[in-house]
Amino acid sequence: MTRYRTTDGKEDMKQKVHWFGAAAIPLAFMNGLFFGGYALRKIRQYWEGGPMD
């Protein structure tokens, strides 16, 4: 949630949802799961010696 100032300098009391800021943490979490899972799979393939999926 962010608040903006109006043109006369007073704080606007209507709270507006900052969508990118609100989505940043879940997006980073999903990226971590995706790339973490991908990295683990590649490491396992290397360790076991082949593409066995």
What's residue 32's pLDDT?
Answer: 94
What's residue 34's pLDDT?
Answer: 95
What's residue 49's pLDDT?
Answer: 86
pTM score: 0.52
pLDDT per residue as tens digits for the range 6-45: 677 677 666 677 777 888 888 999 999 999 999 999 999 8
List of residues 6+ apart from 51 with CB closer than 8 A: 45
What's residue 13's pLDDT?
Answer: 66
